């Protein structure tokens, strides 16, 4: 039986624009239209970069509906995955059932946070979700946020399921990532989510990236992947050297504050507003962003 989808390329974990405490739908439409014209292979909505844990059901529905409509108008039928998380398997199964008609093509599901289950617990958790989901699941392994690392032995057992299509890999262990790439089955995607390690992950054979930094210099980041795929390693490395400071800048304070500030200053969103406990960038970082923008070729 073939895997439902094969994921690759550059995916954007889209920020969620707010204004005066509400979802800023005009800015959202502007954002999606902008990135629909960029070399993006998929969107992640309502995940970490999208401040998903601060969104209510109506806002998530609106995010999906507006993004879908704008992409249709632009003639870009690229996939949209919805970020989900939780530490109670039963509740998360109910959530999957609750959102199944909201228009997502698949789900990015983080490992259970805080509870730190064993590898057997992680295996049974994701197996139960896969049994219940009507769309593909992309696992989000980010132990420095959740407190638990999904090891490769467990990941490879989960990869045997055709509707578990890959992993957003933020394990922060290059050796673990490389071994997973070496042993993964055909069609199971390893997409790096570690922006500073974008080039090295692709060079090691990752299938692509879910890259918050690609909100800026989008075509530049996409071009690195294209050059590596074409065998132009020197050209890709030269491009990465020019862009490597961007992830450091954008993640120098909790994300997505810096990204929102950059997009606001370019006019793509009407406000850099965040929802507590997330706060806008410091005055010092704002100055650094605006200095970087002064030499930028594109938003």
Residues at the binding site are 49, 210
User: Catalytic one among 140, 199, 227, 260?
Assistant: 140
Q: How far is CA 61 from CA 23, 56, 82, 109, in A?
A: 11, 9, 10, 17
35 is catalytic: no
Let me know: does 136 contact 165? Beta carbons within 8 Å: yes
User: Catalytic one among 35, 107, 168, 184?
Assistant: 168
Annotated binding site for pyruvate: 49, 210
What is the length of the chain?
299
- How many degrees, rounded to 5, is the angle at CA 256 between CA 251 and CA 262? 85
288 is catalytic: no
Q: CA 49 to CA 211: how far, in whole Å?
A: 10
Residues contacting 31, CB < 8 A, separation 6+: 14, 15, 17, 263, 268, 269
Task: Give the max Cα distance, the chain.
Answer: 54
- How many degrees, rounded to 5, is the angle at CA 111 between CA 145 and CA 261? 45
- 176: helix, strand or coil: helix
Q: CA 225 to CA 228: how far, in whole Å?
A: 5
Q: CA 218 to CA 296: how far, in whole Å?
A: 12
| Catalytic machinery residues | 140, 168
């Amino acid at each position: 039986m073939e895997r439902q989808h094969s994921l690759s390329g550059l995916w954007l974990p889209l920020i969620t624009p707010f204004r005066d405490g509400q979802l800023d739908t005009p800015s959202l439409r502007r954002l999606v239209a902008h990135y629909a014209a960029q070399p993006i292979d998929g969107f992640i909505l309502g995940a970490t970069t999208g401040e998903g844990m601060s969104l209510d059901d109506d806002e998530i529905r609106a995010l999906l509906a507006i993004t879908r409509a704008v992409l249709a108008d632009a003639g870009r039928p690229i996939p949209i995955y919805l970020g989900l998380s939780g530490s109670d398997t039963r509740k998360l199964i109910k959530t999957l059932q609750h959102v199944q008609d909201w228009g997502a093509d698949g789900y990015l599901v983080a490992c259970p946070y805080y509870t730190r289950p064993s590898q057997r617990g992680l295996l049974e958790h994701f197996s139960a979700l896969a049994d219940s989901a009507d769309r593909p699941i992309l696992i989000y392994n980010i132990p420095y946020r959740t407190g638990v690392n999904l090891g490769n032995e467990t990941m490879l057992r989960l990869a045997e399921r055709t509707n578990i299509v890959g992993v957003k890999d933020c394990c922060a262990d290059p050796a673990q990532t490389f071994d997973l790439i070496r042993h993964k089955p055909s069609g199971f995607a390893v997409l790096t989510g570690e922006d500073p390690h974008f080039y090295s992950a692709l060079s090691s054979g990752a299938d692509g990236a879910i890259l918050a930094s690609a909100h800026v210099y989008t075509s530049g980041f996409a071009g690195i992947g294209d050059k590596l795929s074409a065998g132009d390693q020197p050209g890709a490395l030269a491009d990465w050297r020019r862009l490597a400071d961007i992830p450091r800048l954008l993640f120098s304070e909790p994300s997505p504050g810096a990204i929102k500030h950059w997009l606001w200053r370019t006019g793509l969103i009407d406000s850099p507003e965040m929802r507590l406990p997330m706060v806008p960038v410091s005055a010092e970082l704002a100055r650094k962003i605006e200095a970087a923008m002064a030499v930028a070729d594109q938003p």
